[in-house]
């Protein structure tokens, strides 16, 4: 069995501020990158207990160099660094049996801790008219390669997104979001135990199927400012529908995924 793990940071137990997840946070950041590594290791242990033979971990947060490789379970392989063509799912392919999303956060415009979608310049993002965050975008990309997302961890807002999108998926709630910068969190040790046991349990199930992406995909991005929308509209094939909003339609979800990431990266130069 080959298992893919995508790791973010905002959904890790105890995280409530940007200082804790950005390099400029100093010791606070270093403390939480250790906790991020610990939660990833819990998922790796869960996969091994379920019989996984190959485990690939992709560091999907920020500049994607947060996980401490010297502390990572040596039976796992790490993909880190940026930019990545497939972003938070770099390295995924049809050879994987299952995917796990660790430390994910809720979408932009929701009530989750540090809720956003790819970048804080995005006010709202939709896929074929449905509000979508990183969880949904990445789950659809995993589905594009025939890989089911069987496990998710983060706050309860992220958990509700997962239930609506993925159905009967295994979810570990690491903390209860009480505000953008506030949460009631379980202890890191308890969260790690839940991740390990939950991921093992999910990998032993046989009934989860990939989230199939639509044949025709329209991505709609509402930015915080008109200049960001104008910049995103430089991307070939995009259309600007009002001062703040740009759309992009494609018949291949992989190209749509790469298109939306490219538009946001272009727009980020115009804060």
Q: Which residues are catalytic?
A: 116
DSSP letters for the chain: -EEEEEE-STTSTT--SGGGTSGGGTHHHHHHHHHHHHHHHHHHHHHHHTT-SEEEEEE-STTS--S-GGGS-TTEEEE--S--TTGGGTT--TT-SEEEEES--PPTTSSSTT--BSBTTEEEEEETTEE--HHHHHHHHHHHTT--EEEEEEEHHHHHHHHHHHSS-EEEEEEEEEETTEEEE--HHHHHHHHHHHHHHHHT-S-----PPPSSEEEEEEESSHHHHHHHTTSTT-EE-SSSEEEEEESSHHHHHHHHHHHHHHHTT--
How far apart CA 23 and CA 27 sit, in angstroms, is 9
């Amino acid at each position: 069995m080959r298992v893919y793990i995508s790791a973010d940071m905002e959904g890790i137990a105890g995280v409530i501020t940007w200082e804790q997840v950005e390099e400029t946070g100093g010791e606070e950041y270093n403390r939480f990158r250790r906790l991020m590594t610990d939660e990833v290791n819990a998922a790796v242990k869960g996969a091994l207990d379920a019989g996984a033979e190959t485990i690939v971990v992709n560091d999907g947060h920020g500049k994607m160099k947060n996980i401490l490789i010297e502390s990572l379970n040596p039976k796992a392989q790490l993909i880190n660094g940026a930019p990545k063509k497939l972003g938070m799912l770099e390295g995924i392919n049809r050879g994987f049996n299952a995917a796990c999303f660790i430390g994910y956060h809720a979408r932009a415009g929701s009530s989750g801790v540090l809720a956003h979608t790819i970048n804080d310049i995005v006010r709202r993002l939709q896929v074929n008219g449905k509000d979508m965050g990183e969880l949904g975008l990445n789950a659809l990309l995993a589905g594009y390669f025939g890989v089911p997302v069987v496990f998710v961890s983060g706050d309860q807002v992220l958990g509700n997104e997962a239930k609506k999108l993925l159905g009967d998926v295994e979810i570990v709630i690491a903390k209860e979001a009480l505000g953008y910068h506030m949460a009631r969190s379980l202890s890191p040790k308890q969260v790690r135990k839940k991740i390990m046991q939950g991921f093992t349990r999910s990998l032993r199930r046989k009934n989860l199927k990939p989230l199939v992406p639509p044949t025709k995909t329209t991505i709609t991005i509402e930015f915080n400012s008109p200049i960001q929308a104008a910049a995103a509209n430089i991307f070939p094939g995009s259309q600007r529908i009002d001062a703040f909003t740009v759309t992009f339609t494609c018949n291949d979800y992989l190209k749509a995924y790469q298109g939306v990431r490219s538009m946001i990266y272009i727009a980020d130069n115009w804060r």
